[in-house]
Structure 1
Amino acid sequence: MSALRRNALRFVLIVGTANLFADLTYEGARSVNGQFLATLGASAAAVGVTAGFGELLGYGLRSIAGLIADRTGRYWLAAITGYGINMAAVPALALAGNWPLAAILIMTERTGRAIRKPAMAAMLSHAGQQMGRGWVFGLNEALDQAGATMGPLVMALVLYTRGGYRQGYALLVIPALITVGTILAARQFLPNPRDLEAGHPLQGRGLSRRYWLYMVAAGCIGAGFADFALIGYHFEKTHIVSPTLIPIYYAAAMGVGAVGALILGRLFDINQRATVYGGVIVAALFAPLVFLGGSAMALLGMILWGIGMALTESVLLSLVAGVVEPAKRATAFGLFDTGFGVAWFVGSALMGVLYQTSIIGLVIFSVLIQLVALVFFRLAGFGPSDGSRRARAAR
């Protein structure tokens, strides 16, 4: 293994470890934020607006954050600032004495994530030159999802041992501090991640037609990808899954997402087309299983839902990294995430309406709009896979 590739692997592992503890922190908090707001006297409407506006901030600000990171070249500053805000807001919830303050902190946490996400994705993408883009984003997402699986379980354990929400939030200061310390260690280890992509032009050529087609395809996937809030609501309302098992179903999906990200990332570096097409088709089948099946089928549907999460967070980012020059990647990732987030928001709202009128209609919409993504992927085409590219170089 060359020194550059060894450094790339170490860098991805350090950043992935930071993301593991970051996800443990904020996913642990997000698993109880709604309930906590309710105990402070927030109405259902206030809870919904807080969650919805928080997600809108979390995705909408990424395009601005990415553009600023590319324009200034201060990727580490953006990343560290974002992680700092992201991690400070969660344990601060333990001190919130009223629901408006808690709501502000919840939205602040999402804002911090928006600031750091494009810059961090851009820096990670440089490691793809050495390791393969799919493997880089797949490995990072696997560690990310591992934290997302543990976070809600940690909070559940706190509540099970008769601790309150405030004790749970306060406990999350530990992984929050580990996150910040680890990301600072990543900065110390590799101050200029672009060195991993030495020899590539630094001047961006703008965003290509292929990039925009990938964004439309991702938007179709996002629009048909039901938020877990709606899925959990369905489980609770129909009683096909007992309330105590609903968090377990969610944790199972997160666990599958972690493993799926590794597998899809590796497959992406071997054959992009087959991985993308196969991933989209498999993930699109979650809706009929979740919304029309019994408890066993619902669990299978959640497994497919987890594969869909892995697809969006590893494979789609790998596609973007392959069609955008290094100097424009933070902008590209930020804009891509914003487009995906808006489509997810609109699609989730529409599926919420369809749920009230026709669950069959919801399922048809979810499946078809995700399969439409295949048309745009076909129009965009695919570049050579990183695995085949490295094999040719070795020969």
Structure 2
Amino acid sequence: MNDLKKKSMIFIVLIGVVSLFSDMTYEGARSISGQYLEILGANAALVGFIGGLGELLGYAIRFFSGRLADKTKKYWSLTIFGYLVNLLSVPLIALFPNWQWAILPMMLERIGKGIRVPPRDAMISFATKSVGRGWGFGIHEFLDQLGAVSGPIFVAIVLFILGENNFRYAFFLLIIPASCAIGVLFFSRFLYPVPSKLEVQLIELDSKGLPKLFWIYSLCVLGFAVGFLDFVLIAFHLEKTKLIAQPMIPILYAFAMGVDGASALVFGKLFDKNGFIALLFAIIISIFANPLIFLSSSIYLIIVGMTCWGIGLGALESIIRAAVANIVPINKRGSAFGIFNTLLGIFWFVGSFACGILYGIAPIYLVIFSVSAQIFSVGCFLYFRNSLRV
């Protein structure tokens, strides 16, 4: 392993460890947010709206964060500020005993994530040049999901020890992994003050706008986003139907996060070898998630559905980003990740809100809507397959 490749791998692992602790924090919180809102009196449409609005705010701000990162090259400053807002909002949820106030720190948590994702992903993309785009983003996502598994398990243990419905204590105790994430983040900044040096530029950079291929690719992904549900609505469904004991819902979420992390590694390697076909395969698998989760009363089929959901999330968080890094030149990455994620958030919001309303009518309508959207995404990928050999 040459020196540049070694340094790049260390950087990816360090940022992965930051993501491990940060995911432990906010995924632990998200694993109980749906149940918490249900207990506080929110209905299905409201939960779907809150979940979708949170994603919309978080993704919309990425447009500005990404452009600001490219313009100022202050990748670290934006990343650190975003992490501070993202992580420190979680324990604040414990201070509010009603849903009208509890949603405020939930929104702030999403906004903080939105601020730091484009500059962070741009920095990761610099490092993935020498190790492989899919593999590099896959490793980051794997470490990310170790935290996403640990967070819900931590929350479940708190609920087992303190008793059901002690959500406020669980939210407050998540300040522990949040502090660890912030510490590793500052250490990474000290070791790698200029991450862009990890990607050697072999050709003159195009100073014009984003390539046409980027917009084609974005269109293909948007259908997937519309049909892919946030876990908040899934947790609401499981809590309402009582198909699973309350403390086991975070465990089920942790299981899905484990699937997410493992699939990110597998599909990351497949992406480096086979291109977008790996992403297409992951999307096809995820189509089965909602029918199995929302139309089944069998715990075993729900677990299979959550497995499909985890695979889809693994694709969304790893190889979808890797493809953007392949398509867009280095000096436009922050803007590209920002625009791409903003579009993703808008369509995710529309999908989540629509699914919340449809669920209130009957779960079958939610399933029909989400499956149709994801089949549309597959059709787009197949139609543009010659252009999307990235």
Q: Deviations over 1:177-196 (max 9, x none)?
A: 11111111111221111111
Partner in structure 1 of residue 374 of structure 2: 370
Distance 2:6 2:239 in 1: 48
Distance 2:51 2:294 in 1: 23
- Comparing 5-14 with 367-376, which one deviates more in the overlay? 367-376
Aligned CA distance change for structure 1 residues 170 and 359 (closer, same or farther; 3 Å): closer
Partner in structure 1 of residue 84 of structure 2: 84
Aligned CA distance change for structure 1 residues 305 and 116 (closer, same or farther; 3 Å): same
Distance 1:284 1:46 in 2: 25
The alpha-carbon deviation at position 292 of structure 1 amounts to 3.0
The alpha-carbon deviation at position 242 of structure 1 amounts to 4.4
Distance 2:241 2:90 in 1: 33
The alpha-carbon deviation at position 5 of structure 1 amounts to 0.3
Partner in structure 2 of residue 138 of structure 1: 138
| Letter aligned with residue 90 of structure 2 | V
Pick from 212, 215, 218 the counterpart of residue 215 of structure 1. Answer: 218
Distance 2:230 2:270 in 1: 26
Preserved contact between residue 59 and residue 341 of structure 1 (Cα < 8 Å): yes
The alpha-carbon deviation at position 78 of structure 1 amounts to 0.5
Aligned CA distance change for structure 1 residues 104 and 226 (closer, same or farther; 3 Å): closer
The alpha-carbon deviation at position 128 of structure 1 amounts to 1.7
Aligned CA distance change for structure 1 residues 247 and 32 (closer, same or farther; 3 Å): closer
Aligned CA distance change for structure 1 residues 336 and 258 (closer, same or farther; 3 Å): same
- Comparing 134-143 with 16-25, which one deviates more in the overlay? 134-143
Q: Could you tell me the TM-score, scaled by structure 2's length?
A: 0.90
Aligned CA distance change for structure 1 residues 38 and 214 (closer, same or farther; 3 Å): same
Pick from 218, 228, 243 the counterpart of residue 231 of structure 2. Answer: 228
Query: How well do the aligned residues superpose, as a CA RMSD in angstroms?
Result: 2.5
Distance 1:117 1:313 in 2: 11
| Letter aligned with residue 178 of structure 1 | C
| Letter aligned with residue 73 of structure 1 | K
Partner in structure 1 of residue 299 of structure 2: 295
Q: Secondary structure at the match of 2:90?
A: helix
Distance 2:54 2:314 in 1: 22
Preserved contact between residue 92 and residue 105 of structure 2 (Cα < 8 Å): yes
- Say whether 1:259 aligns with 2:282: no
Identity percentage over the alignment? 41
| Letter aligned with residue 269 of structure 1 | D
Show the 5 A alignment for 1:1-395: 1-33=1-33, 44=43, 50-96=50-96, 101-162=101-162, 164-200=166-202, 201-293=204-296, 294-357=298-361, 359-378=363-382, 379=384, 381=386
The alpha-carbon deviation at position 236 of structure 1 amounts to 4.1
In structure 1, runs of 5+ residues without a counterpart are: 386-395
* Aligned length in residues: 384
Q: Secondary structure at the match of 1:161?
A: helix
Distance 1:312 1:355 in 2: 23
| Letter aligned with residue 190 of structure 1 | Y
| Letter aligned with residue 250 of structure 2 | P
The alpha-carbon deviation at position 35 of structure 1 amounts to 5.4
Preserved contact between residue 31 and residue 253 of structure 2 (Cα < 8 Å): no
Preserved contact between residue 215 and residue 336 of structure 1 (Cα < 8 Å): yes
Q: Deviations over 1:288-331 (max 9, x none)?
A: 32233332222111101100000111111111111111111111
Distance 1:382 1:132 in 2: 21
The alpha-carbon deviation at position 153 of structure 1 amounts to 1.5
Say which structure, 1 or 2, has more relative contact order (CA 8 Å, 6+ apart): 2
